[in-house]
Amino acid sequence: MPISYLGFSSGILSPFSAWVTSEIKPEDATRSSSQASYLKQALATTDITVYTHTQAKNILFDEKKRATGVLVSTQGFEYYISANKEVIVSAGVFHSPQLLMVSVGFSVSKVPNCFEPTFADKRTGIGPKAILQSYGIPVISDLPGVGQNLWDQIFFDVLSGVSTPSTGDLVGNLALQPQLLQEYIQGAKGTYGSTSGFIAFEKIPGPYRKNFAQRTATIEAPFSRRNVTISSADITDPTIINIAWLTDPTDCELMAAIFKRYR
């Protein structure tokens, strides 16, 4: 397949091959991260305050079920951060639902710059009622969808010999180095512009698709779904993750077709 010099970030995945993008800046193909690309700039241009090494333990609510702040812990020291406007939960796919489920309801007295819970014993959570109750967490809001529809892309290898050069062939070929280095230095492209190798996507050829069920023929992402749930009422305990790969027959049909294609 021809190399796409636009790369996969262009959104055009086929019929091209390309170097895999990873945590690098597209402009110069040097290492990057959320911290380098976003946080550093936000710290310089806004009045955001970052609490490092700090875990949100509970979202706090008032009697009207309004989120009013967060109970956090920094290396074992617990304190409250009150919200002027709103609490945005962005603890990722596993911990966002956990935080909702184990949260605590407080009535708060608003003192400027001070945030004192007046009755800290009212534990309440947001999520599927039966699960919360099984851990003794009273329900502030029965939302059955919290933690549900967990959906993951299964990744598996089918190994097959190819005639195209591999990353190792390119990196190990001394004669190619001037060209590869020039590609990287001048265009931030090529072998040294990627940390993850070289791949291509292939649409499963027609003969392997002809007996597919209608649902499988139109698949764009896996169908198998399950959930993430809590193992206790404590945020520091691990979540229970049910990925359920290949539990939907469509995903199995597709995987079998891919194995047949390359067997």
Ligand X SMILES: Cc1cc2nc3c(=O)[nH]c(=O)nc-3n(C[C@H](O)[C@H](O)[C@H](O)COP(=O)(O)OP(=O)(O)OC[C@H]3O[C@@H](n4cnc5c(N)ncnc54)[C@H](O)[C@@H]3O)c2cc1C
**Which residues contribute to the site for ligand X (CB under 6 A)?**
55-56, 90-92, 95, 99, 235
Nearer to ligand X, 103 or 216 (CB): 103
Nearer to ligand X, 24 or 99 (CB): 99
CB 80 within 8 A of CB 72: yes
Beta-bridged to residue 230, according to DSSP, are: none
Reference 62, options 140, 145, 146; nearest CA is 140
Q: How far is Cα 227 from Cα 135, in angstroms, rounded to an integer?
A: 17
Nearer to ligand X, 56 or 137 (CB): 56
Beta-bridged to residue 28, according to DSSP, are: none
Reference 103, options 74, 132, 144; nearest CA is 132
Q: How far is the CB of 235 from ligand X (least distance, A)?
A: 5
Q: How far is the CB of 79 from ligand X (least distance, A)?
A: 13
Cα-Cα-Cα-Cα torsion 174, 175, 178, 181, nearest 10 degrees, comes to -50
Q: How far is the CB of 226 from ligand X (least distance, A)?
A: 16
In degrees rounded to 5, what are phi and psi of residue 29?
Answer: 50, 45
Nearer to ligand X, 56 or 108 (CB): 56
Question: β-strands 17-19, 67-74: how paired?
Answer: unpaired
Q: How far is the CB of 92 from ligand X (least distance, A)?
A: 3
Nearer to ligand X, 233 or 235 (CB): 235
Q: How far is the CB of 236 from ligand X (least distance, A)?
A: 9
Minimal CB distance residue for ligand X: 92
**Span between the terminal Cα atoms of the chain, in Å:** 20
